[in-house]
Amino acid sequence: MRPLVEEMIGGPAWLADLAMIAVQIGAIFAVIMASAIVLVYAERKVSAFMQMRIGPNRVGPWGILQTTADMLKLLSKEDIVPRAAERRVWALAPVLLFVPAVAAYAVLPLDAGLVFADLNIGIFYFVAISSQATLPFLMAGWASNNKYALLGGMRTVAQMISYEIPLVFSLLGVVMLTGSMKMSDIVGAQRDFWFILIQPAAFLVYVIAATAETNRTPFDLVEAESEIIAGPFTEYSGMRWSLFFLAEYANLVAVSAIAATVFLGGWQGPWLPGWLWFTAKVVMMIYVFMWFRWTFPRIRVDQLMSFGWKGLLPLALVNVVVTGIGIYIAQQWRG
Amino acid sequence: MLQDYGAIALLMAVALIFPFIPLFVSAYIQTKKPTTEKLSTYECGVDTIGKTWVQFKTSYFLYALVFVVFDIETVFLYPWAVKFQVMGTFAFVEMLIFVAILVLGLCYAWRKGALEWQ
């Protein structure tokens, strides 16, 4: 595509580069918007089928225009700014949450050579970026000046930082096996077999920690509508509220894509084109996350903490050691 | 490589500006009728009592402290993991020592009750 753009613009090389970047940024945003629209609908339909309900079926055939209708409704909703809130911090929180959600997409390899920025610290960049989402949650919770929101905000921070450690450790084994943090290298190393086969424990830890990082059930104490209304989102309405949800779905896709890339072989697969394989794996991971939601009940905050620190973290550490020993023995074996 | 980071900076800048577009559109087409009741802090029917910004449960901060320690350790572990296969026995022994220190730290925090929810 690059030569085509160069020909169309005809200017200096940097202009063509800039145009390419602009096109790619546009593509990333298109993917995020499209996936959010599809996922809101899919989430409702999947939960409906799991509970033997019909789900949305009024707007358009099989209710497929439901999300569009919701979006229009949310756009026209009044933006209520609570009097007691710390206005600037409150207003900025949903906007800031959107940035790490989008930035995580930069390192996802969609197909061979199809990646926005193939950084040599790829996986580390993802971990670093995704952990930035903690701050906007705390901002929203604190600035709302609402007790439910503050509780929710504090819980988010505690949960996200607790589950970030196992998440980071679970990806470490794969980095050891690959000898690189570059996403394209990690995918390339899985040509013969997927890393889920030799890192099953790491995959398990990653999926659990990712569920917690995206604040989904059974780790949705953050919102926990039956006890703290909607946590940090309590005082938000209309478009600001939907920005939170947009970021949430963007994050869901991002963590699923990382799982697909790191453990499930990324875009590699027989017969079909790479991007189709990648999409299929991501969709499967998203389905697993939705399945979790209707399988496990929400856990208590003390259970959440002890499970993260006393269950997942030791498991992830053991996995790193076992991987290390395994690689060392394999190396000695080969001489 | 520098261009990659430039591209990411641009992506972040666009991501920062993008949310203002729907907010802007929404500001034009929404009906705005603020009333005293509507702008009050959300509660279950009654007004909230007392201040929201009070001293908070210390357990949260204990976890945050443990988090900082472990998070910094992971920063050291990543470069080591990249070079693990190249460095052979040295890296292997070093790993055992480093993880032993990590486990020791975790055990210490565990024994001291920093991981208990009080």
Cβ of residue A124 closer than 8 Å to a chain B Cβ:
yes
Cβ-nearest to B39 among A83, A157, A305: A83
Does this complex have an ipTM over 0.90?
no
Burial of B55 (0-12, 13-18, 19+ CB in 10 A): exposed
Full DSSP string of A208-264: HHHHHHTT-TTSGGGT-HHHHTTGGGTT--HHHHHHHHHHHHHHHHHHHHHHHHHTS
Q: What is the pLDDT of residue A3?
A: 61
The continuous run of DSSP H or E covering A171 comes out as: helix A147-178
Cβ of residue B83 closer than 8 Å to a chain A Cβ:
yes
Question: To the nearest whole percent, how much of chain B has pLDDT over 90?
Answer: 0
Degrees (nearest 5) of the Cα angle A190, A204, A268?
A: 20
Distance from CA of A52 to the nearest CA of B (A): 32
pLDDT averaged over chain A?
84
The residue in chain A having the minimum alpha-carbon distance to the alpha carbon of residue B15 is A99
Burial of B16 (0-12, 13-18, 19+ CB in 10 A): middle
The CATH architecture one would assign to domain B2-34+46-112 is Up-down Bundle (1.20)
Distance from CA of A271 to the nearest CA of B (A): 31
Contact B102, B110 (CB under 8 A): no
Rg (CA), chain B: 25
Cβ atoms within 10 A of the Cβ of B101, count? 11
Helices (H), chain B: 2-17, 20-29, 36-39, 59-82, 84-87, 89-112
Cβ of residue A2 closer than 8 Å to a chain B Cβ:
no
19-78 in chain B: CB under 8 A from chain A: 19-20, 22-23, 25-27, 29-34, 38-42, 48, 52-53, 56-57, 59-60, 63-64, 66-67, 70-71, 74, 77-78
CA dist A44 and A293 (Å) reads 12
DSSP A56: S
The Cα-based distances of A241 to A93, A138, A219, A245, B22 in angstroms read 10, 15, 20, 7, 12
With a cut of 80, say whether residue A35 has pLDDT above it.
yes
Name chain A contacts of B39, Cβ cutoff 8 Å.
80-83
Q: Test B115 with A161 for CB contact under 8 angstroms.
A: no
Q: Test B77 with A172 for CB contact under 8 angstroms.
A: yes
Q: What is the pLDDT of residue A8?
A: 66
Q: Test A310 with B57 for CB contact under 8 angstroms.
A: no
Provide the CA A63 distance to its chain's centre, in angstroms.
26
The continuous run of DSSP H or E covering B16 comes out as: helix B2-17
Q: What is the pLDDT of residue A206?
A: 92
DSSP A59: S
φ and ψ of A111, to 5 deg: -160, 175
Question: To the nearest whole percent, how much of chain A has pLDDT over 70?
Answer: 95
Looking up tokens 């395994």 gives A326
Name chain A contacts of B89, Cβ cutoff 8 Å.
328
Cβ-nearest to B88 among A21, A76, A331: A331
Name chain A contacts of B92, Cβ cutoff 8 Å.
324-325, 328
Distance from CA of B43 to the nearest CA of A (A): 8
Q: Test A78 with B31 for CB contact under 8 angstroms.
A: yes
Going A4 to A8 to A10 to A13, the CA torsion angle's sign is: negative
φ and ψ of A299, to 5 deg: -100, 165
Q: What is the pLDDT of residue A5?
A: 62
How do residues A223-234 score in pLDDT, each as one tens digit?
766 677 777 888
Q: What is the pLDDT of residue A295?
A: 86
Q: Domain coordinates of chain B in residue numbers? A: 2-34+46-112
Q: What is the pLDDT of residue A273?
A: 80
pLDDT band at A4 (very low <50, low <70, confident <90, very high): low
pLDDT band at A120 (very low <50, low <70, confident <90, very high): confident
Cα end-to-end span (Å), chain A:
45
**Most confident by average pLDDT, A116-120, A284-288, B21-25, B42-46:** A284-288
Nearest to A164 by CA among A192, A135, A142: A135
The Cα-based distances of A44 to A245, A251, A293 in angstroms read 14, 18, 12
DSSP SS3 for A13 = helix
19-48 in chain A: CB under 8 A from chain B: 21, 24-25, 28-29
Report the phi/psi class of residue A329: left, alpha or beta, with left for phi > 0 and alpha for psi in -120 to 50: alpha
Cβ of residue B10 closer than 8 Å to a chain A Cβ:
yes
CA dist B20 and A95 (Å) reads 8
Nearest to A264 by CA among A283, A252, A250, A278: A278
Q: What is the pLDDT of residue A7?
A: 65
The token pair at A94 is 């949903």
Q: Test A98 with B16 for CB contact under 8 angstroms.
A: yes
Distance from CA of A4 to the nearest CA of B (A): 20
Q: In sequence order, which residues have a C-beta less than 8 Å from that of residue B67 and are 6 or more positions away? A: A161, A162, A164, A165
How do residues B75-86 score in pLDDT, each as one tens digit?
888 888 888 888
Cβ-nearest to A103 among B12, B31, B102: B12
Q: Domain coordinates of chain A in residue numbers? A: 1-76, 81-334
Q: What is the pLDDT of residue B103?
A: 85
Name chain B contacts of A145, Cβ cutoff 8 Å.
41, 52-53
Distance from CA of A197 to the nearest CA of B (A): 19
Model pTM?
Answer: 0.88
Contact A311, A165 (CB under 8 A): no
CA dist A142 and B52 (Å) reads 9
Cβ of residue B96 closer than 8 Å to a chain A Cβ:
yes
Q: Test A83 with B41 for CB contact under 8 angstroms.
A: yes
Cβ atoms within 10 A of the Cβ of B52, count? 17
Q: Test A119 with B4 for CB contact under 8 angstroms.
A: yes
Q: What number of residues does chain A have?
A: 335
DSSP A300: P
